[in-house]
Amino acid sequence: MTTPDQKIAAFLSDAGWSDATREPLAGDASTRRYDRLTDPASGGTAVLMIAAPEDEASVAAFTRLAGALTDAGLSAPRILAKDIPACLLLIEDLGDDTFTRIIKADPARERDLYAVATDLLVPLRDMPVTPEMTVFDSQTLAEMTAIAFERYAAPITGEDVGPTLIPRLAEILQDTRLGAPVFLHRDYHADNLLWLPDRDGPARVGLLDFQDAVAGPVVYDLVSLLQDARRDVSPAVELAMMDRFRDAAGLEDHDFRSACAVIGLQRNLRILGIFARLAQDRGRLHYLDMIPRVFAHVERNLDHPALAMVADTIIDALPRPTAETLSRLAEH
């Protein structure tokens, strides 16, 4: 029986990278692993993506979407070699200059980088929505918030108000949609964007982790970018980028801002639950450190009048992320 290491060795040999050195790259919340390969003769690099056996569909989606994005003139990694049944890909190395890393080194660049990221959302929006893509309709989006009440709130309070709230959230989401579902990256934030200054226009932004792309509300990726769980976006930049996208997309201001608040609530409720689950099930306790920021996003979105009918119920249901609360989640 062929071992995983033997499969990888054969894959790299067939791709012409058998002599390359391998350096692990930082992972994410998924079961994927990444190694940077360096050819000792040429110095050229590539990235080996190794996914878990159950992720074959995700690997196939990454391959398909990478091709569609590059065909559209956008900067997804090119696929250099693939073995989808083995969940192995060799992809173009787009470097390490994530927006997060650049802004941390030089905070003065935040506004300019967020501007190009916001501008890229227009050609992304215009990507084709294909039949195999999941559609985030109002009911689906509402049901996705259940994890906040099940995995974040219930372990502390002993109560799950999700079944009561989800129908009300679905109603609000239905009332705040902005047109037909559009192509969404779904995980659009500074850690998944790379600065490629040698390229032109929208291609200056490298895209990562787009394999879960769906169709849904036009503001979804914008909210993902500006209400980041991992870093604080300055308020001035957030407001400027909201105006920038609204104008570029030709959206009416009142409906646009209402939709941003409602989708912002939906996303951040889900993130609360996912981070709690990652800590409880996988022992990834560093995700608990980000929960106060996510909770602050929830509170700010609930201040919008579009959410008045559920605001008090949600705030009452969610324990504040105190040190005691986070400690209890870690021990659950």
Work out the mean pLDDT of the chain and round it to a whole number. Answer: 95
Residues 88, 116, single domain; the answer is: no
> How crowded is residue 300: how many other Cβ atoms within 10 Å of its Cβ?
14
Same domain, 265 and 203: yes
Domain with residue 67: its CATH number is: 3.30.200.20
- Which pLDDT band holds residue 28 (cuts at 50, 70, 90)? low
Which residue from 287, 217, 312, 231 is spatially nearest to 259, judged by alpha carbons?
A: 217
Percent of the chain with pLDDT over 90: 90
Do 235 and 181 share a structural domain? yes
Per-residue pLDDT reduced to its tens digit, 124-156: 999 999 998 999 999 999 999 999 999 999 999
Q: What is the pLDDT of residue 301?
A: 98
Longest dimension (CA), the chain: 64
Residues 211 and 314 in one domain: yes
Same domain, 86 and 106: no
pLDDT value for 259: 97
Question: What's the whole-number mean pLDDT along residues 302-327?
Answer: 95
pTM for the full model? 0.94
Which CATH number do you get for residue 262? 3.90.1200.10
Out of 57, 92, 127, pick the residue that ends a domain.
92
Q: Which of 60, 92, 124 marks a domain boundary?
A: 92
Q: To the nearest 5 percent, what fractions of the chain are helix, strand and coil? A: 55, 10, 30
pLDDT, residue 26, reads: 72
Task: Note whether 304 and 200 are same-domain residues.
Answer: yes
Q: How confident is the model at residue 31 (pLDDT cuts 50, 70, 90)?
A: confident
| 38 and 117 inside one domain | no
- Work out how many domains the chain is built from and give that number: 2
d(CA 192, CA 224): 11
C-alpha–C-alpha distance, residues 107 and 98, integer Å? 13
Average pLDDT over residues 227-245: 97
Same domain, 112 and 212: yes
Which tens digits make up the pLDDT trace of 51-77?
A: 999 999 999 999 999 999 999 999 999
Determine the structural domain holding residue 9 and report its residue range. 4-92
Query: 145 and 80, same structural domain?
Result: no
Provide mean pLDDT across the span 235-260: 97
Share of the chain above pLDDT 70, in %: 98
Per-residue confidence (pLDDT) for residue 2, from 0 to 100: 78
pLDDT in tens, 92-125: 999 999 999 999 999 999 999 999 999 999 999 9
Whether 36 and 153 share a structural domain:
no
Of the residues 73, 92, 111, which one is the last residue of a structural domain? 92
The per-residue pLDDT for range 262-303, each reduced to its tens digit, is 999 999 999 999 999 999 999 999 999 999 999 999 999 999
Residues 38 and 177 placed together within one structural domain of the fold: no
Q: 254-260 contacts: CB < 8 A, separation 24 or more?
A: 255/176, 255/178, 256/178, 256/219, 257/304, 258/176, 258/304, 258/305, 258/306, 259/176, 259/177, 259/178, 259/217, 259/218, 259/219, 260/219, 260/222, 260/223
Token pair, residue 8, equals 């990888």
Whether 66 and 125 share a structural domain? no
